[in-house]
Structure 1
Amino acid sequence: MIALVLDLLNLVFFKYLNFLASSIEGMITKTSGNEFSFGLPSIALPIGISFFTFQIMSYVIDVYRGQVIPQKNIFRFALYVMMFPRMMAGPIVRYSDVNIEIENRSTTLEMAEEGVKRFIIGFAKKVFLASAMGEMADAVFGLPGIFNSAYAWLGAVSYTLQIYYDFSGYSDMAIGLGLIFGFHFNENFNYPYISSSIQEFWRRWHISLSTWFRDYVYIPLGGNRKGKARTYLNLWVIFLLTGIWHGSAWQFIIWGLYHGFFMFIERLGFGKLLKKVPCVIGHVYSLIVVIIGWVFFRADNIGIAINYIKNMFSFNFENFAVEPVILKLNSWYYVMVIIALTFSCPVYKKIMGCRIPKVIAYGGYLILFGISIIYLAGLSYNPFIYVKF
């Protein structure tokens, strides 16, 4: 308990103290009518703090449960916590997944080969797809007030693709680097946008986080073993924590509760109805729910998010001549969005299942990597989205 409390206090201090202080300041100012401030300095957020804090907590809990043998070597423990391939943006790696390889690690040429290929794919995802989608999303989300509904959907869909290729690209790079050094990290994404329900989406999106909350919060709270009312409460708690984990702002809390609501209604019976209707209906429903949810994730505050969603459903199709958006609607964006939509489905798996001569395959990877490096050199600063979480 002491270890967990210290871990959580560390996370609260660096990630949430300024948010809590500003929220309390706002409440006191509104109720008293006088400006109030704690005068706290802005606290810098350590890179990847949520990821390595959750790894430490999982280690402590697993040792307490007797599921892993305690690591007595501080340097090996530090290697587990601060392993650089996945330190900035995950995936969340449990000690039980890598303890054997930390103690007795070996690498092979085949592992290194697979690791290099996986790294190149993730690198290209970020450099090309995430960056192109991000430019369009930034252009649309930067529009003030009331604007065209088609542009609102364009920006939301672009951000939906950006955050997937940005985060899954980083996960691919981390998994690839891990393989090169002899570590096997678990998959973090499994084509989430082909889901036909929100329950399925969370089985496919950020798998390391959803399984962490399942094993260390949901099941200890009772899971679905203590009746329906308790199950629904546990679901709300999980998604409230999921929202809080992602960021110290109210829009992230709303985003978490928003997903919790749809998990609730699917558990309540809507999920059974989805299984009876054609799967395309489930896919459309899931995509719409997820895309709207990402608006809260992307917006700077709740007011901006609500205004953006209003624009999406205002059916206002006037004034297409908006310069920031028109400049981004070029042939490069069209090519990238077609590729992004195509590879959000299990196309890559089918390509890899084909028998391609090794010389052609290796040449393709080298060309892709070379072009990615050249293209990256011309990009402006564009960090991974999940670094700040």
Structure 2
Amino acid sequence: MLFNSIDFFLFLPIVFGLYWLIGGKRIKTQNLLIAIASYVFYGWWDWKFLSLILFSSIVDYSIGLWLGKTKKISTRKLLLWISICVNLGFLGFFKYYNFFIDSLIDSFTFFGKELNLSTLNIILPVGISFYTFQTLSYTIDVYNKKLQPTKDFIGFMAFVSFFPQLVAGPIERATNLLPQFSKKRSFDYANAVDGLRQVLWGLFKKIVVADNCAKYANIIFNNHTEYNGSTLLLGAFFFAFQIYGDFSGYSDIAIGISRLFGFNLKRNFAFPYFSRDIAEFWRRWHISLSTWFRDYLYIPLGGSRGGLKMKIRNTFIIFIVSGFWHGANWTFIIWGALNALYFLPLLLTNKNRVNTDLVAQDNFLPSIKEVGQMALTFFITLIAWVFFRADNVLHALSYLQNMFTASLIYKIEIFPSTILLLVLFFIITEWLGRRGEYAIEKIDFMKRPIRWIFYILLIVLMFSFTGEEQQFIYFQF
């Protein structure tokens, strides 16, 4: 069930109405409704995979209870590893089995040996990477005694399968979301209005920006040998805004819908294309995944506490694993490694410190230096996105080779001026709203008539420039 579908347009009001009809005092009944609605939402794609979510929920709920009862270190470690192996085992089988078999066959073929292994016709369950990491966070936090194990199985099921963010995040931590299922939730009109505003902006990102950019990105990437370098550069530009509008749009919709039900999800994007270096970009892009790897992989490996060699090793591990998390293809691994290489100069010069200030913090426009920094960061990110979008490594290398030829200065062969104007409108709106959690959060400074004219404008643009419907990119991860 897609957020931008008629099915969901009917599904959401029904669940919303029943949820608040039950009332905030009957928490367990509300949780049961959310769990049922979430299973219906997920089962809309393929009901057979509901058993995976249910099994994962039962395993981690049971292990959490057991961890709460035992203090024996060896037993606690065993329980933790059971949870990790079960969850990553399912993820590995459905997502990576064929990749490893194909890679093994190719390796033996390279050395002149034939290996008779066959791949399986496996369908990747939608969102398995997201809910696997979400439920793992619960077990790890209970093991580390950062969270008390819950005894409410229905609440835990609702936490694991919470439909607004089930299939494409944000990846919620148990320490943030799970306790909200045990608290009384009252309808807050102002919070709901803000949620609807964020949903509106998320839909605009998806329907107008991402889906329209996808059309031209697909044409150019799929026929890259037929176009000159400047057109290929534009194709990479379109994909950059396709993936940003698509993924951050989903996150905005998920966060906004959650607010309608009295839940607060963590922010997942913070205007990443206004970053001044690659470290800042990764603090602003897919924040829930970046912080998950930081807390559950990078820091346990030693983080930045060791010498330079350890910092470099851990940086490459976290980026390569992050790339592999995105998909079973060497293009994603190279994409991760490339971002690690981008990070190296900052590590070597010790300039990867956390910088929380905004670009042009106290000014309307950025300085010339900041413009240069943002342009360079965006450009190297654009290069990495080519590997992310390409079908395989040869496709990516061919695309980049053709892009960096003398023909780069030639006339652009595909120039959809209307779509580029819409992207420009999007960038300007994001820039003006960069001090908020999302671009149009701080729009209250406008007088009410102007504010409503702006909302109507967004709706008109969505109806007038609806791109060809595209599945959310991160559904495949």
Q: Normalising to structure 2: TM-score of the pair?
A: 0.74
Tell which deviates more after alignment, 337-346 or 181-190.
Answer: 337-346
* 1:138 paired residue number: 218
Q: Please say if residues 197 and 271 of structure 1, whose CA atoms lie closer than 8 Å, have aligned partners that are also in contact.
A: no
Separation (CA, whole Å) in 2 of partners of 1:78 and 1:237? 32
Separation (CA, whole Å) in 2 of partners of 1:301 and 1:66? 43
Q: Please say if residues 223 and 231 of structure 1, whose CA atoms lie closer than 8 Å, have aligned partners that are also in contact.
A: yes
Residue identity (%): 37
What pairs up with 1:3-82 in 2 under 5 angstroms?
Answer: 3-34=83-114, 36-82=115-161
Q: Where in structure 1 are there 5+ consecutive unaligned residues?
A: none
Cα distance change on mapping 1:354 and 1:72 into 2, 3 Å: closer
Separation (CA, whole Å) in 1 of partners of 2:148 and 2:432? 38
Q: Please say if residues 220 and 227 of structure 2, whose CA atoms lie closer than 8 Å, have aligned partners that are also in contact.
A: no
Q: Please say if residues 232 and 264 of structure 1, whose CA atoms lie closer than 8 Å, have aligned partners that are also in contact.
A: yes
Tell which deviates more after alignment, 334-343 or 118-127.
Answer: 334-343
Cα distance change on mapping 1:267 and 1:183 into 2, 3 Å: same
User: Counterpart amino acid of 2:446?
Assistant: I
Cα distance change on mapping 1:94 and 1:317 into 2, 3 Å: closer
Q: Which residue, 282, 289, 307 being the options, matches 2:380?
A: 289
Separation (CA, whole Å) in 2 of partners of 1:224 and 1:83? 34
Q: Which residue, 168, 171, 190 being the options, matches 2:251?
A: 171
Tell which deviates more after alignment, 166-175 or 96-105.
Answer: 96-105
SS in 2 for 1:88: coil
Tell which deviates more after alignment, 24-33 or 116-125.
Answer: 24-33
Q: Please say if residues 146 and 311 of structure 1, whose CA atoms lie closer than 8 Å, have aligned partners that are also in contact.
A: no
SS in 2 for 1:264: helix
Separation (CA, whole Å) in 1 of partners of 2:252 and 2:412? 38
Tell which deviates more after alignment, 350-359 or 200-209.
Answer: 350-359
* 2:197 paired residue number: 117
SS in 2 for 1:382: coil
TM superposition shift of 1:339 = 1.8
Cα distance change on mapping 1:284 and 1:360 into 2, 3 Å: closer
SS in 1 for 2:445: coil
Separation (CA, whole Å) in 1 of partners of 2:137 and 2:118? 35
2:380 matched to 1:301? Answer: no
User: Counterpart amino acid of 2:382?
Assistant: I
Separation (CA, whole Å) in 1 of partners of 2:456 and 2:370? 39
2:189 matched to 1:103? Answer: no
Separation (CA, whole Å) in 2 of partners of 1:147 and 1:370? 34
Separation (CA, whole Å) in 2 of partners of 1:127 and 1:74? 37
Q: Please say if residues 161 and 340 of structure 1, whose CA atoms lie closer than 8 Å, have aligned partners that are also in contact.
A: no
Q: Which residue, 402, 411, 418 being the options, matches 1:311?
A: 402
Q: Please say if residues 147 and 316 of structure 1, whose CA atoms lie closer than 8 Å, have aligned partners that are also in contact.
A: no
User: Counterpart amino acid of 2:313?
Assistant: L
User: Counterpart amino acid of 2:192?
Assistant: A
TM superposition shift of 1:266 = 1.4
Q: Please say if residues 296 and 302 of structure 1, whose CA atoms lie closer than 8 Å, have aligned partners that are also in contact.
A: yes
User: Counterpart amino acid of 1:259?
Assistant: N
TM superposition shift of 1:316 = 1.1
2:205 matched to 1:205? Answer: no
Cα distance change on mapping 1:252 and 1:363 into 2, 3 Å: same
1:225-283 CA distance string (max 9 Å, x none): 122211111111100111101111000000001001111221101848xx9x9333322
Separation (CA, whole Å) in 1 of partners of 2:469 and 2:256? 23
Instruction: Please provide the CA RMSD for this pair.
Output: 2.3
Aligned pair count reads 378
What pairs up with 1:246-261 in 2 under 5 angstroms?
Answer: 246-261=326-341
User: Counterpart amino acid of 2:473?
Assistant: I
TM superposition shift of 1:55 = 0.4
Separation (CA, whole Å) in 2 of partners of 1:346 and 1:237? 36
Cα distance change on mapping 1:318 and 1:113 into 2, 3 Å: closer
Separation (CA, whole Å) in 1 of partners of 2:154 and 2:117? 39
Cα distance change on mapping 1:359 and 1:302 into 2, 3 Å: same
Separation (CA, whole Å) in 1 of partners of 2:452 and 2:409? 49
Separation (CA, whole Å) in 2 of partners of 1:248 and 1:363? 45
1:76-115 CA distance string (max 9 Å, x none): 1111111110111111111111223211133311111111
2:332 matched to 1:332? Answer: no
Q: Please say if residues 156 and 178 of structure 2, whose CA atoms lie closer than 8 Å, have aligned partners that are also in contact.
A: no
TM superposition shift of 1:313 = 1.2
What pairs up with 1:206-221 in 2 under 5 angstroms?
Answer: 206-221=286-301
Cα distance change on mapping 1:76 and 1:312 into 2, 3 Å: same
What pairs up with 1:356-375 in 2 under 5 angstroms?
Answer: 356-362=446-452, 364-365=454-455, 368-369=458-459, 372=462
TM superposition shift of 1:367 = 5.6
Separation (CA, whole Å) in 1 of partners of 2:198 and 2:452? 12
Cα distance change on mapping 1:82 and 1:142 into 2, 3 Å: same
1:188-241 CA distance string (max 9 Å, x none): 111111111111110111111111111111111111112221111111110011
Cα distance change on mapping 1:250 and 1:229 into 2, 3 Å: same
2:428 matched to 1:342? Answer: yes
Q: Normalising to structure 1: TM-score of the pair?
A: 0.91
User: Counterpart amino acid of 1:301?
Assistant: N
SS in 2 for 1:220: coil
Q: Please say if residues 95 and 328 of structure 2, whose CA atoms lie closer than 8 Å, have aligned partners that are also in contact.
A: yes
